[in-house]
Structures are given as C-alpha cells and as structure tokens.
Amino acid sequence: MLYAILSEDAPDTLEVRRSARPAHLARIRLLRDQGRLVLAGPHPAIDAEDPGAAGFTGSLVVAEFSSLEAAKTWAAADPYTGVGVYARVVVKPFYKVLP
C-alpha cells in the first residue's frame, strides 16, 4: 500500500537540512531503486523552485510500504529527523487515483 509521509521543518534549520541532505537523499534513492517511490520533494517556504535563504517548510514522500507501521518506522529513521530538521512527521495511508 502507498503511504504519504508529511514532514514539517523546525524553524531556522536550513543549514542543518543542507548538511544532512546527502544522507536523506540516499534513503529516498533507495526507495526509487526498489520501485517503491511515487514522488518526493521539499516544500519551499516561498513561491519559488529555489527559495534561497527562505528555505523550506517541510517535505512530502509518497511511497509503498508493507504496512503503516513500516512506513512510520522508515520515516522515524530519516536523517532529517535525527538532526532536528523535522519538528513533526505525519504518516498516513495514501490512495492514488490519478494519473
């Protein structure tokens, strides 16, 4: 089943986010390589593809996991969580209708 992992950044964590990004992306790429990733990306803090110093407000990952518990376990191990980038993470089942 698919699950949406919605993460909200803590304030003033852009530099920490940047330093943890390679490890974070490695985990996302593994999902992609396993054929389990639907989409993933950050939420810019402003209406721009590159928000610069404004940074990001969080991230979204939609991927396949064996259960809600497995998705929550995966999300909890994210490097961004470990270094304090994410202040809040919500994991919920996701049903893809389109495309």
pLDDT in tens, 35-86: 999 999 999 999 999 999 999 999 999 999 999 999 999 999 999 999 999 9
Cβ proximity of 76 and 29 under 8 Å: no
- Provide CB contacts within 8 A for 43, sequence distance 6+: 56, 57, 58, 59, 60
CB 61 within 8 Å of CB 71: no
The amino acid occupying position 76 is A
> What's the rounded mean pLDDT across residues 12-39?
98
**pTM (2 decimals)?**
0.95
CA dist 56 and 51 (Å) reads: 7
Q: Which of 91, 72, 78, 75 is nearest to 17 (CA)?
A: 78
Residue 57 has a pLDDT of 97
